[in-house]
Amino acid sequence: MGDTSIEWTDKTWNPIRGCSVVGPECENCYAMGFGARFSKPGEAYDGIAKFSAKRRLPQWTGVVRPVPDHLDDPIRWRHPKRVFVNSQSDLFHERLPRAEVAAVLGVMALASHHTYQVLTKRAARMAELLASITLEEALDEVARRSIGLSRAQSRAITAGTIAKKRDMQWEGPLAAPPWAWFGVSVGIRSTLHRLDALRATPAALRFVSFEPLLEDLGDVDLRGIDWAIVGGESGNRARPCNVAWIRRIVARAATSSVPCFVKQLGAAPYHVEPDPPGFATASNGDIGRRVFWSLVDDKGGDPTAWPHDLRIRLFPEAR
């Protein structure tokens, strides 16, 4: 566990397994497919994911399960990394108890040599929990659930971390540390409201992942956002992505002075060419003929094959 091909991170950390579909963006979720492949009795995703009986498509069952053996992974990783938290789940899933979220935040506070990247589609719950879980609560949960520390040791860790917190000018009593980035996923217009909840989230750095980008999002409001990731959908059932939609996000980020990271064009990128008069077609806002791009990389993730204006992979300044 931990190795990843995700271009904007170094490692993945999955102290939670399982999720559920909340909308069209989730239909072809790679984590759901991965979970279904390892869902036989006794395997890691037993009872968490499955293949549907008729079409053999992957499905979440709705079960969300902590993985105690992996809760303290970042503490044991010695070298500083960018760590994507819960690539196989959603830390702010409605079925995950507050105490489990607190334990994950506590490990993030303790292992301060890493930078954590947390993405959610449950933006309102993220804002609520990050505004209420305290550092002491989070560290107490770490001591009880994973590392096996005594109550006295837990309080010693709490005192030491609070001292570190003071030295680093970590303001306030809340558990989310400055070295943790919190973000939301947005791929269709009806989920743009997640950005408002993100702006209300008490975080040192806020980011948005426009992936999978499934339609033109218009002039997105990036006020209060520190980083934007954008990409088309990958996988065998990938839905088409108009490269113009990606370009619009890139341009919006530039005018908003927000660093942008173009992750991939997707497995089915295309552009639109006008048809001769009388032969115009319309699909998903496109007027004209779709011309699909042929890329060697099966997810359109090789920047050397892209137009030069899309070869943008910027990171935000670390806090």
Given this model, what pLDDT does residue 152 score? 60
**What are the pLDDT digits (tens) for 174-223?**
999 999 999 999 999 999 999 999 999 999 999 999 999 999 999 999 99
Burial class (CB within 10 angstroms; exposed 0-12, middle 13-18, buried 19+) of 75: middle
Asked whether 15 and 67 are in contact (CB, 8 A), the reply is yes
Scanning 133-232, the segments in alpha helix (DSSP H) are: 135-142, 151-167, 194-199
Question: How many Cα atoms sit within 13 Å of 248 on the Cβ side?
Answer: 14
Count each helix (H run) and each strand (E run) in the chain, helices first: 8, 16
Indicate yes or no: pTM above 0.85: yes
Q: Residue 278: which residues within 8 A CB-CB, separation 6 or more?
A: none
315, 313, 295: which is closest to 305 by C-alpha?
295
Mean pLDDT of the chain: 90
Given this model, what pLDDT does residue 160 score? 62
State the DSSP H helix or E strand holding residue 250, giving kind and residue range, or none if neither. helix 243-255
**What are the pLDDT digits (tens) for 55-74?**
789 999 999 999 999 998 99
Given this model, what pLDDT does residue 55 score? 74
Given this model, what pLDDT does residue 262 score? 98
Q: Stretch 36-64: mean pLDDT, rounded?
A: 93
Asked whether 166 and 94 are in contact (CB, 8 A), the reply is no
Q: Which residue do the tokens 């004209």 mark?
A: 288
pLDDT band at 273 (very low <50, low <70, confident <90, very high): confident
- Put residue 157 in one of left, alpha, beta given phi > 0 → left and psi -120 to 50 → alpha: alpha
6, 23, 7: which is closest to 189 by C-alpha?
23
Is residue 151 over pLDDT 70? no
